[in-house]
Structures are given as structure tokens and as C-alpha cells.
């Protein structure tokens, strides 16, 4: 029994260390290609405002919406101010809403069409004109976001397609920066810009989220782009060539991460991707744990579904190199670390009770290098992400314990997402509630009470006590990390859900549904109506 426990414990630990060391590999890749990354950062020279409009490609901007009353006006106003010849620009508001935000969006579209924002005086006169902005409403949500994008694409005028989610604020020069990539190379299929964070400093939770996303954009994406590995469109804040979407099979909604799915299909079809780290589009981060869990759940389940769908094809295609296939494996399987974390936290208590305490020599030879190799790799990973945007590396070091605790606290919920992704394809697309500039609580995420997290918190508390009593000093901080992560997430989710349920009870019947993030079931037919 003791041998089996020891084997299981260290097998799980080594698998987790493998994913941690992979992050070290990404850091080393960024360092290896730092000269190339400097040229990629600047990209192709941007368009100037004296270019003849007739020489430019037609662009369609798609704005998929679903019950976004708190942010839709802000999104539409920023999008309408984007600098690009009006004769070569179309804006599609793809609204699947079921509440009164439909009327709000329709009215805002009509107002912008009647009185378009003026361009700066230094632009060519023929860049001006009426804003081509259209409102498209589907009577159901078949395919969810992927279905809305596909429906809009069928009637889009542009040969280039930019996409922004409701919580993003497109910059005025976004098209000026990204369009030249498509003009300079006909094989460029997608250009992804970096996400910014408009509410980074709002709370501990938003700071941790910002650091997580910075690691993805400023280490993962940069490493993969520089090394020629496959990377993905992030679902928003980027631009596609319409021909790349069409030739790769279009938007498909058999997974919940339609962006990752299409990205891999397009690159395996021969299209090239570019990443622009210095073109930043600010976005709103989820402001409560329940909304953040819902977002991460969708991403985890969808990524596993995409791995089910494409992994065999990726691993066997002759169009990819060995390193591209290895990196694709790590790219599509990171969420398997969550069930491993749960198993590790459960095995930790019996391991501490049954295994003898490690002597100082063994600690220095085995335990210390293993801790440095895993936790140290994360520290280097996120410190590089902070430094790449001019922030202090110590900010990442200070935030890292909170990031690790939050990751542990989310592990049970995201493990469920992993198993659901393995069991079934597609599923309901639960959009992330947004608070808007006024931090409104109009939309709130619905969640079950965190009984699993509470149980695991108690088990981890037992591990903390056992590690101290048995002299397993290296295990104490990790047991405390699990205990704090499970307990903190459980406390926040429980308090948020009690507040949501109280608000639903007190709200009028007509307003109660607005406090829920779960959409009604979609009918079986789909119609696009202007």
C-alpha cells in the first residue's frame, strides 16, 4: 500500500512538473528569439491617413453581442471612431440578445448611422462619409458565438474581418496597424493583437487575472509566433482574412472554443498567423470569482473538446514539424493539470502520514530542485510577461502566490470541465457577465454552492497539520496553498451566490432574469433578421 501510494503521488507530481517545465521552455524560446521578436513587435509599417481609399481592402468589423446592456454603448462608440476610409468599412452588430439590450443596440446603431463620428482634420477628405453600420438579430442562438459570426460572415462585405467581444475597447488605429500585414503577404490568414486590462488594479482577483493573461500573450504567443509554432486567435482583438476562414471550413460550433478550433484548421491548411504585441486592445476582466469560474470553465471544456477533435490530425499530419506537434500537444492539454492538482491534494494527506519524513540531504538533492523546477519556472514565466510590457518583475513575484492559490481553488470546478469536454462535444455557451464602467451588478454568474471546495479545504487543512507533525517541512507551504486556495474560492463563491439569490428574491419578476447569466434554451431553427 505504501509503495503504491508513493508511486501514485510522485507520478502525479512529475506530470505536473512536466507542464511547469514546459513554461521554462517557453521562456527560453523567447530569449532565444529575442532579436526576431524585436522585428515582429514593430510588424509591417502602419497605414498613413493620406492613402488612397481605393488601394485598401474592404474591412468588416463584427461585434457579437448577447445581453450586454452594461457595455454595448461603450463598444459601439469606440468602434465607430476607428480610423479607416468609411467607403471601405462595414460594422456588423451581431446581436443574439433576449432582453431589452436589443432595443438599446438597435437605437445606438441608428444614432451612429445618422450622425457618424467625425474624423480628425488631418485625414483625407475621401476617408469620410456615412458610417456603414448594420444591426443583425437572430431569433435563436444556434451555434452561439460561432453561429453568430458565421451568419454575419455570409453577408459581410469585407475581405478582412475584425472581431471584438462586448467587453473590449477597439483603438482608433487598430485597422491602420493590422491591415498592412494582409496587404504585404497574401498568405497571412490572421493577425492577433495583445489584450490590455482596463480594470487591472480594481482588486486582487483582477490583478491575478491580468497576470495570467499577460503570461499567455507575452510569453506563450510571442514564443510560438517567433519559433514558427502554431498559436491561436484569441476569440477577439484580432483580424482574419475571409478567404482563410472559408477555405479552412468556416466557423464550426461543435466545440466551445471555436477560435482555437478554426486557428488550428487554418494553420494546417497553410495559412500564416502573425502576432502584434505592441497593438493593445483594452478589455474588462471579470470582477467576481463566479464570473471568472464560468469563463474559465468554458475555455477549459472547449480546449479539451478541440483536442479531442483535432489532436489525432495534428499529431499525424506531415505538414507540421516534430516541434510544432510537441508544442501543439502542450497547447491543447494544459487544463489536464487541474484534475492532477486535485488528485495531488487528496494524496498529500495519506502520503504525509504513511511516508517517512525526508532527511535534510534528500531534501537538498530531490525536494528542493523539484520545487525550484516547478514553482521557479512559473516565476520566470510571469516575471518575463511583466518585464515585456515595462512593468516590474517583482510585481509578478508578489502576485504569484495569489495566482497559485486561485489556480488550486479553481481546480475542482475546472476538473469537471475537463471531464465534460472528454465526454461530450459542444454544449451551452455561457457568456461572461460584464459590469461596465459603472461596475453594475445587473448581470451575475450563477453557480452551485462550492461543497467540493469546502471538503478539499478541510482535507488540505489536515495535510498542513500532518506536514508539521511529521516533519515534512517542504510539504507545508504546498498544503497551505491548497487549503487557502480551496477555502478562499469557496468563501467568495458562496458569498456571491447568496447575494445573487437575495437580489433575485427582492427584484421584480421582470428584472429577476437579468441577474442570471444562463440563457434560455435555443429553438431548433435559425433565422437572420435585420
Please give the grid coordinates belonging to residue 197.
486590462
- Strands 528-529 and 133-138 turn out to be antiparallel
Looking at residue 60, the DSSP 8-state letter turns out to be: E
Please give the grid coordinates belonging to residue 160.
478582412
Nearest to 94 by CA among 3, 162, 26: 162
- Where would I find the H helices in 317-446? 322-332, 337-354, 360-362, 368-371, 377-388, 393-423
User: Which one of 96, 150, 177, 261 is the catalytic residue?
Assistant: 96
Residues with Cβ within 8 Å of 100's Cβ and at least 6 positions away in sequence, in order, are 69
Please give the grid coordinates belonging to residue 499.
447575494
CA distances in angstroms from 65 to 296, 512, 519, listed in the order given:
19, 20, 13
Per-residue buried b or exposed e for 372-404, using 16+ beta carbons within 10 Å of the residue's own CB: eebbebbbbbbbbbbebeebeeeebeebbbbbb
Q: Which long-range contacts (CB under 8 A, 24 or more apart) does 389-394 make?
A: 389/214, 389/218
Max intra-chain CA distance, the chain: 80
**C-alpha triplet 528, 147, 302: angle, nearest 5°:** 165
User: Which one of 177, 259, 261, 288 is the catalytic residue?
Assistant: 259
Residues with Cβ within 8 Å of 169's Cβ and at least 6 positions away in sequence, in order, are 74, 75, 78, 198, 281, 282, 283
Active site residue 448: no
> What is the distance between the alpha carbons of residues 163 and 231, in angstroms, rounded to a whole number?
17
Active site residue 288: no
Nearest to 431 by CA among 373, 516, 315, 368: 516
Which positions are catalytic?
96, 259
Amino acid at each position: 500500500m505504501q509503495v503504491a501510494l508513493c508511486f501514485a503521488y510522485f507520478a502525479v507530481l512529475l506530470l505536473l512538473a512536466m507542464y511547469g517545465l514546459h513554461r521554462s521552455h517557453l521562456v527560453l524560446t523567447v530569449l532565444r528569439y529575442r532579436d526576431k521578436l524585436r522585428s515582429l513587435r514593430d510588424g509591417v509599417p502602419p497605414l498613413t491617413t493620406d492613402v488612397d481609399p481605393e488601394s485598401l481592402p474592404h474591412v468588416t468589423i463584427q461585434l457579437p453581442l448577447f445581453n450586454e446592456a452594461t457595455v454595448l454603448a461603450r463598444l459601439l462608440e469606440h468602434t465607430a471612431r476607428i480610423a479607416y476610409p468609411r467607403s471601405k468599412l462595414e460594422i456588423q452588430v451581431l446581436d443574439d440578445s433576449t432582453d431589452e439590450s436589443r432595443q438599446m443596440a438597435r437605437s445606438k446603431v441608428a444614432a451612429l448611422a445618422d450622425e457618424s463620428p467625425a474624423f480628425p482634420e488631418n485625414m483625407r477628405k475621401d476617408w469620410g462619409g456615412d458610417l456603414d453600420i448594420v444591426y443583425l438579430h437572430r431569433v435563436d442562438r444556434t451555434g452561439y458565438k460561432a453561429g453568430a459570426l458565421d451568419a454575419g460572415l455570409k453577408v459581410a462585405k469585407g475581405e478582412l474581418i475584425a472581431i471584438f467581444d462586448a467587453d473590449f475597447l477597439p483603438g482608433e488605429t487598430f485597422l491602420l496597424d493590422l491591415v498592412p500585414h494582409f496587404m504585404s503577404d497574401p498568405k497571412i490568414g490572421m493577425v492577433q493583437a495583445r489584450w490590455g486590462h482596463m480594470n487591472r488594479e480594481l482588486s486582487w482577483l483582477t490583478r491575478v487575472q491580468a497576470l495570467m493573461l499577460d503570461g499567455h500573450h507575452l510569453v506563450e504567443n510571442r514564443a510560438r509566433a517567433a519559433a514558427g509554432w502554431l498559436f491561436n486567435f484569441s476569440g477577439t482583438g484580432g483580424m482574419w482574412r475571409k478567404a482563410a476562414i472559408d477555405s479552412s471550413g468556416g466557423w464550426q460550433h461543435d466545440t466551445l472554443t471555436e477560435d482555437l478550433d478554426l486557428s488550428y484548421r487554418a494553420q494546417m491548411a497553410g495559412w500564416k498567423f502573425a502576432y502584434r504585441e505592441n497593438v493593445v486592445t483594452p478589455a474588462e476582466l471579470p470582477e467576481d470569482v463566479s464570473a471568472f469560474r464560468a469563463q474559465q470553465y468554458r475555455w477549459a471544456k472547449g480546449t479539451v473538446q478541440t483536442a479531442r477533435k483535432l489532436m489525432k490530425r495534428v499529431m499525424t499530419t506531415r505538414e507540421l514539424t516534430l516541434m510544432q506537434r510537441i508544442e501543439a500537444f502542450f497547447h491543447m492539454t494544459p487544463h489536464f493539470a487541474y484534475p492532477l492538482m486535485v488528485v495531488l491534494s487528496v494524496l498529500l494527506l495519506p502520503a504525509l502520514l504513511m511516508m517517512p519524513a525526508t532527511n535534510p540531504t534528500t531534501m537538498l538533492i530531490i525536494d528542493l530542485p523539484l520545487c525550484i523546477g516547478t514553482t521557479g519556472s512559473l516565476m520566470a514565466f510571469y516575471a518575463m510577461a511583466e518585464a515585456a510590457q515595462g512593468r516590474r518583475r517583482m510585481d509578478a513575484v508578489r502576485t504569484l502566490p495569489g495566482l497559485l492559490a486561485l489556480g488550486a481553488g479553481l481546480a475542482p470546478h475546472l476538473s469537471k470541465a475537463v471531464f465534460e469536454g472528454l465526454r461530450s462535444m459542444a454544449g451551452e455557451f455561457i457568456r461572461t457577465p460584464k459590469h461596465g464602467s459603472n461596475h453594475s451588478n445587473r448581470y451575475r454568474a450563477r453557480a452551485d454552492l462550492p461543497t467540493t471546495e469546502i471538503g478539499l479545504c478541510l482535507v488540505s487543512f489536515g495535510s498542513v497539520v500532518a506536514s508539521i507533525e511529521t516533519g515534512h517541512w517542504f510539504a507545508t507551504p504546498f498544503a497551505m496553498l491548497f487549503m487557502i486556495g480551496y477555502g478562499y474560492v469557496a468563501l467568495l463563491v458562496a458569498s456571491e451566490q447568496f447575494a445573487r439569490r437575495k437580489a433575485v428574491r427582492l427584484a421584480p419578476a421582470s428584472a429577476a432574469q437579468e441577474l442570471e447569466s444562463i440563457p434560455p434554451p435555443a429553438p431548433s431553427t435559425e433565422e437572420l433578421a435585420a
